[in-house]
Structure 1
């Protein structure tokens, strides 16, 4: 019995950190994955999920889109839907490569049906240290 309890605690510990802040994801999906672009909706709700903002296995790692959002919103803003939506709109106007002001904006990438933080394989890979 003790082994089962310990195993359950280990599994819960492994699964829990993988959860992104649901209110942020919910607002992103409502705004950009509403079914208008079926392929993007399927990608954002399916394979991409947390990788819209995160990179690699640890949810502490953010891709460029997630980094830009983190500058505007954080854990304390989970219940502030207006602030989340405003942050999504503001970040959509920013260049996807902060070092290149002529790079497409995050919003333009989303309009093209692309993930704003990079292609799926890139965001699934562990970030360079």
Structure 2
């Protein structure tokens, strides 16, 4: 009996360490995007994290996500506390070159396209 309990405790401890890292949802980034670009709200709501992340693995960012993250300068900025900072970062990202030849991310947004989508 004691061996069984020891084995169960060991498995519980190992599984706690082996479990993957928790997701860090940043819904305030989407909220800021929707506030800054209301014409793209439907597309943004459908894409959600896909605006900045090209795949399920959220550690991977597309070019727009990298530019936006750099412009923010820190992680997990809250909309309620720092709406201005989020908006300024979006505006900085607009000026950067996108992967579309001859267009900035701002040009894509003006054309009604999400900046991180191909």
The residue aligned with 2:104 is 105
Mapping for residues 29-48 of structure 1, pairs under 5 Å? 29-32=34-37, 34=38, 37=39, 40-46=40-46, 48=47
Contact in 2 for aligned 1:21/1:75 (Cα 8 Å): no
The 1-side partners of 2:108 and 2:92 are apart by: 14
RMSD: 2.8
Runs ≥4 residues deviating over 6 A: none
The 1-side partners of 2:82 and 2:89 are apart by: 11
TM-score, normalised via structure 1 length? 0.65
Q: Larger radius of gyration, structure 1 or 2?
A: 2
Q: Deviations over 1:25-50 (max 9, x none)?
A: 11001111x2xx3xx3321112x111
TM-score, normalised via structure 2 length? 0.70
The 2-side partners of 1:53 and 1:59 are apart by: 9
The residue aligned with 1:51 is 50
Q: Deviations over 1:6-33 (max 9, x none)?
A: 9xxxxxx88x51x53122111001111x
